[in-house]
């Protein structure tokens, strides 16, 4: 039972982490900064 709860919490953290990464990417894209574009290229590579 405890293991199930732990995996559920981990899933929530993973989802929120992915969401924050996605938001960060979008903000950097909008900003159009040189640093942001190089980081996005790194992510896509």
Per-residue pLDDT of the chain (45 residues; tens, 9 = 90+): 567 778 888 887 788 888 888 988 888 777 766 665 666 677 665
Distance CA(19)–CA(44), nearest Å, equals 17
Q: What is the pLDDT of residue 33?
A: 64
Q: With residue 24 as reference, give the H or E element that holds it.
A: helix 2-31
Residue whose pair of structure tokens reads 């159009």 in the numeric block:
32
Tell me the pTM. Answer: 0.40
Q: What is the pLDDT of residue 34?
A: 60
Distance CA(38)–CA(45), nearest Å, equals 10
Non-local CB neighbours of 39 within 8 Å, separated by 6+ positions: 28
Q: What is the pLDDT of residue 37?
A: 62
Q: What is the pLDDT of residue 10?
A: 84
């Amino acid at each position: 039972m405890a293991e199930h709860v732990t995996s559920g919490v981990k899933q929530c953290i993973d989802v929120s982490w992915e969401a924050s990464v996605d938001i960060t990417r979008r903000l950097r894209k909008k900003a159009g900064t040189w640093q942001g574009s190089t980081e996005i290229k790194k992510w896509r590579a």
